[in-house]
Amino acid sequence: MKTASFALILLGLLAGCRAPATDAEPQETTSSTASIEAAPPADPAQTAPETVRETKSLTGEFIGFEAGDYLHAVIRQPDGKTESFFLERGMEIFLVNHKNQPLELAYQVVDADIPEAGGVMTIERLSSIRAGDQTFADWWKTAEPSFGKLLDEYQPRIEQATLAPEEVPVEDSENQSQ
């Protein structure tokens, strides 16, 4: 069952994640969450715009993925607290390469249309990652053209980094991101 779930998650990632955020913080963007279901890409004219409420930062280590309708990154902060975040396209590969390493992260609190939740809800989505002197945005510039091939190559590592439900830490954040 775990492998079937991963295939659906990866299909969703290929089908509809948006490109990483640029350095400028836009206040409205098009919907970016990827469904694990094999649905055709949404028509941008029919997709509700997202509202970025705020951008926050934190430091921590990527400890694994939480799988549900979407793939979430679980980050452990230096004080031991954990938080779970939605991802932008390609971040799952970058995070697997930097598992258990110190990271500097930024995330956006966004009102986004989540069809599985019945409409617009507030989520927390990673918008930038720095591991040492490498940023996700710089890495993505060279990785994006071969994303499909990379995803196939990294699928076993993504599977291995996905936590079983009993391994997912209870989230310490007041704002749940699911």
Model confidence pLDDT, tens digit, residues 52-77: 999 999 999 999 999 988 999 999 99
Average pLDDT over residues 139-153: 94
Q: By CB neighbour count within 10 A (0-12 exposed, 13-18 middle, 19+ buried), where does 30 fall?
A: middle
**Cα separations (Å) of 108 from 112, 124, 146, 150?**
11, 6, 26, 26
Structure tokens at 11: 């299909």
**Tens digits of per-residue pLDDT, 5-50?**
444 444 344 444 444 444 444 344 433 333 333 344 455 445 668 8
**How far is it, in rounded angstroms, from Cα 50 to Cα 115?**
13
**Tens digits of per-residue pLDDT, 91-119?**
999 999 999 999 999 999 999 999 988 99
Per-residue confidence (pLDDT) for residue 47, from 0 to 100:
60
- At residue 170 the predicted structure's pLDDT band, cuts being 50, 70 and 90, is confident
Collect all residues with Cβ–Cβ distance below 8 Å to 77 and sequence separation of at least 6: 58, 59, 60, 83
Res. 162: pLDDT tops 70:
yes
Q: By CB neighbour count within 10 A (0-12 exposed, 13-18 middle, 19+ buried), where does 90 fall?
A: buried
DSSP state of 71: E
